[in-house]
Amino acid sequence: MKILVLNCGSSSIKFQLIETDEQKRRQGNESRLAKGSVQKIGSAEAQIDFQAQGQKKISHTQPIYEHTTGIENILQRLVEPEKGVIKDVEEIEAVGHRVVHGGEYFSRSTIINREVEKGIRDCIELAPLHNPPNLWGYQATREVLPSVPQVAVFDTAFHQTMTPSAYIYGLPYCLYERYKIRRYGFHGTSHRYVLLRLAKILARPVKELDVITCHLGNGCSIASIKGGQSVDTSMGFTPLEGLVMGTRCGDIDPALVPFILEREDLRLEEVNNMLNKHSGLIGISGLSNDMRTLEDASKEGDQKAALAIDIFAYRVQKYIGAYLAGMNGADAIVFTAGIGENSPMVRERVCKNMDALGVEFDSRENARLQGKEGCISRESSPVKVFVIPTDEELLIARDTYQCVTEKSG
Ligand code: AMP
């Protein structure tokens, strides 16, 4: 089955065409026929990138003012003679969408129908920047491919197994009742993907695994997974909570908001902007949100870059400690996403002094491992440490396949 995976933002669409079936899914050898993106939707110079499997990336610009045209364009590229990868758009049997917020409505991926569409719309209040473009993507696809089933895969769904002790804030309970103010968590598809992959690597049932998964990219979150279910995660009501990230502050004292507002004579939205876009690694270092730049600068003696890395790694360490306490140990810690997969230095900072907690870190193996899967703890380590590259699109394709075949089966 050929599945189009879409990740629609306010001015962009990222896509992959993935072919899967029962056997490919079991063996984990699905084919990625094409991938690419449409950027700067809403302008006369939208950029389309398209890369067929095993081919060079092709890019061009053209006016694209809304998502429907963007998706039409992707379909045109896919069927283009010679450069395309399918003969007819009818070969696409299902479409899977990344949807950021499923609130308390959705604890698993689901085929989108009217009721589901309403549920996604009802969550707009919780994710005003993300759920609207996710819905536009669905609606645009419905116009262009009216008879193809579409599936929503939610960033929040995996964390719906958290218990109230992990998701209720220390605020008046009526705020939860009135506005559903609680912790939701994000990056669920990534945490679940690496968990499933770990179960394969260890040849153990997912249900038996206690794991701490660290998604360290530009956005960062960490999840505590007990018996294969998320029991806690660092992001909260929004993705601002938790770890120090590329541009987000992560956990801070909430009393700082009114304090900064008054002292810096800022408006509320300016403070919000500061916490989301000008804090974290870039805010501390004053240099960059890119960990590579900070690593290079710190090697050359830049004190603030070094401090940003120290703060980043220490926050990850604190969360791991908390989750190890909460679960009374773990089978494994997994690192994934841009920094988690590619920065031996950050992984070393996080794990090297955790032997009292059962982590026997293998520095040599860690230094060798960049951008690929592997184990970076010693054989004898009670808590194993793994690097597993994430693949959210693949999990979206697998979930889409499962939802569509369950329905027709
Ligand atoms: P992501 O959001 O998953 O694409 O991750 C982006 C982050 O990964 C950025 O902060 C990059 O600096 C970081 N990253 C990517 N490659 C490397 C690398 N080789 N070393 C350190 N950080 C990296």
> Over the stretch 334-370, which tens digit does the pLDDT of each residue have?
999 999 999 999 999 999 999 999 999 999 999 999 9
Give the domain 2-154 fold.
Nucleotidyltransferase; domain 5 (3.30.420)
Show me where the domains of the chain are located: 2-154, 203-392
Looking at the chain, the whole-number percentage of residues with pLDDT higher than 70 is 100
pLDDT of residue 8: 95
pLDDT of residue 407: 72
Distance 369 CA to ligand 1 centre (A): 14
* Range 190-215 average pLDDT: 98
Q: Cα 306 vs. chain centroid, distance in angstroms?
A: 26
Instruction: List the structure tokens of 169.
Output: 């804030």
Does residue 342's CB lie within 6 angstroms of at least one atom of ligand 1? yes
Report the range of poorest mean pLDDT among 72-86, 150-164, 289-303.
Answer: 72-86
pLDDT of residue 283: 98
* Range 280-302 average pLDDT: 98
pLDDT of residue 129: 87
pLDDT of residue 27: 86
Torsion angle defined by CA atoms of residues 367, 371, 377 and 382, in that order, rounded to the nearest 10 degrees: 160
pLDDT of residue 57: 96
Residue 209: strand pairing partners: none
Active-site annotation holder among 21, 88, 122, 155: 155
358-404 pLDDT, tens digit each? 999 999 999 999 999 999 999 999 999 999 999 999 999 999 999 99
Does residue 291's CB lie within 6 angstroms of at least one atom of ligand 1? yes
Residue with tokens 């009216």: 146
pLDDT of residue 163: 98
pLDDT of residue 82: 86
Does residue 363's CB lie within 6 angstroms of at least one atom of ligand 1? no
**Residue with CA closest to ligand 1 atom 19:** 342
**Across all residues in the chain, what is the average pLDDT?**
96
214-267 pLDDT, tens digit each? 999 999 999 999 999 999 999 999 999 999 999 999 999 999 999 999 999 999
Q: Please name the residue ranges forming H helices in 80-204.
A: 114-122, 131-144, 164-167, 173-179, 188-202
**Residue with CA closest to ligand 1 atom 15:** 338
User: Please, which pLDDT band fits residue 280 given cuts at 50, 70 and 90?
Assistant: very high
pLDDT of residue 28: 85
Does residue 104's CB lie within 6 angstroms of at least one atom of ligand 1? no
pLDDT of residue 317: 98
Give the separation between CA 263 and CA 295, rounded to whole angstroms. Answer: 33
pLDDT of residue 409: 65
Architecture of domain 203-392: 2-Layer Sandwich (3.30)
User: Would 2-154 and 203-392 be classified into the same CATH topology?
Assistant: yes
Does residue 220's CB lie within 6 angstroms of at least one atom of ligand 1? no
Which sign, positive or negative, has the C-alpha torsion 303, 307, 313, 317?
A: positive
Give the separation between CA 87 and CA 182, rounded to whole angstroms. Answer: 47
* Range 308-324 average pLDDT: 98
The answer to whether residue 49 is catalytic is no
Q: List the one residue out of 229, 99, 112 whose CA is nearest residue 153.
A: 99
Residue 32, helix vs strand vs coil: strand
